[in-house]
């Protein structure tokens, strides 16, 4: 389980201070898919970064029952000097023996013909799928996905949603999205408004 207690986090914005998370308390269920929705700037990405330990809150505590974490960032964070398969293999053993497993993961995201392609030659949606394959391949206890379906058409969006669902049975997944249809895959849905208030369903 992931628990956040009285989390407050602010950033300097020029001469002013912008509070992104304000006295936020949440308990997220273990082994479930949690979808986080809300308008841009309401703190969704910051929430993921705090859960991952990439941002330290000004006040409050974060408790995770696992250090086995995989994170898909909004910008995909692919290494440009590695091929698609090598980018996935990076989080496996990063050895020649595991490269075939990386290629299999690319096939699962409909990129079987792009194993030797470098990120610069891939479309935005294709890079997103490489990053998704890499995130899923670790089989981490906690998976954090920040806008994982960016650049995908509706058909691919649905297929990748089903892939996540099938791969993550019994493991905790927290998925940030702008698309309300992604709530269909949620065991729990957290919706923020423009004032950073939230509801849980």
Clarify whether residues 50 and 148 are in a common domain. yes
How far apart CA 25 and CA 31 sit, in angstroms, is 19
Clarify whether residues 33 and 52 are in a common domain. yes
Clarify whether residues 116 and 163 are in a common domain. no
Interhelix angle 124-137/154-167, rounded to 10 degrees, is: 10
Instruction: Over range 174-184, report the average pLDDT.
Output: 90
User: Is the pLDDT score of 195 beyond 80?
Assistant: no
Clarify whether residues 10 and 47 are in a common domain. yes
Instruction: Over range 11-16, report the average pLDDT.
Output: 77
Looking at 84, 103, 138, the residue that finishes a domain is: 138
Instruction: Over range 134-161, report the average pLDDT.
Output: 93
Clarify whether residues 101 and 133 are in a common domain. yes
Burial of 40 (0-12, 13-18, 19+ CB in 10 A): exposed
Confidence class for position 155, pLDDT limits 50, 70, 90 = very high
- Three state DSSP letters for 60-98: EEEEECCCCEEEECCCCCCCCCCCHHHHHHCCCCCCHHH
User: Is the pLDDT score of 54 beyond 80?
Assistant: yes
Clarify whether residues 104 and 134 are in a common domain. yes
- Which pTM was predicted? 0.91
How many domains would you assign to the chain? 2
Clarify whether residues 145 and 61 are in a common domain. yes
CATH number, position 58: 3.40.50.300
The two three-digit tokens of residue 113, written as one number: 């013909």
Clarify whether residues 37 and 99 are in a common domain. no
Clarify whether residues 117 and 180 are in a common domain. no
Clarify whether residues 97 and 131 are in a common domain. yes
Clarify whether residues 99 and 115 are in a common domain. yes
Clarify whether residues 121 and 175 are in a common domain. no
**Strand 172-177, strand 16-28: pairing:** unpaired
- Give the domain range for residue 144: 1-68+140-201
């Amino acid at each position: 389980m992931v628990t956040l207690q009285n989390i407050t986090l602010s950033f300097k914005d020029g001469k002013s201070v912008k509070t992104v998370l304000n006295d936020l308390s949440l308990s997220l269920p273990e082994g479930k898919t949690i979808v986080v929705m809300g308008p841009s700037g309401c703190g969704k990405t910051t929430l993921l970064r705090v859960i991952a330990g990439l941002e330290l809150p000004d006040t409050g505590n974060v408790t995770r029952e696992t250090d086995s974490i995989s994170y898909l960032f909004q910008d995909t964070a692919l290494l440009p000097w590695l091929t698609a398969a090598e980018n996935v293999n990076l989080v496996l053993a990063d050895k020649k023996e595991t490269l075939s497993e990386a290629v299999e993961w690319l096939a699962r995201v409909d990129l079987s013909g792009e194993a030797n392609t470098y990120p610069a030659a891939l479309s935005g949606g294709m890079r997103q799928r490489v990053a998704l394959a890499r995130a899923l391949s670790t089989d981490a206890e906690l998976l954090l996905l920040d806008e994982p379906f960016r650049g995908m058409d509706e058909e691919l969006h649905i297929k990748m949603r089903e892939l996540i669902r099938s791969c993550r049975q019994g493991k905790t997944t927290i998925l940030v999205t702008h698309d309300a249809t992604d709530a269909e895959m949620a065991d729990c849905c957290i919706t923020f408004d423009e004032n950073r208030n939230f509801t849980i369903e």
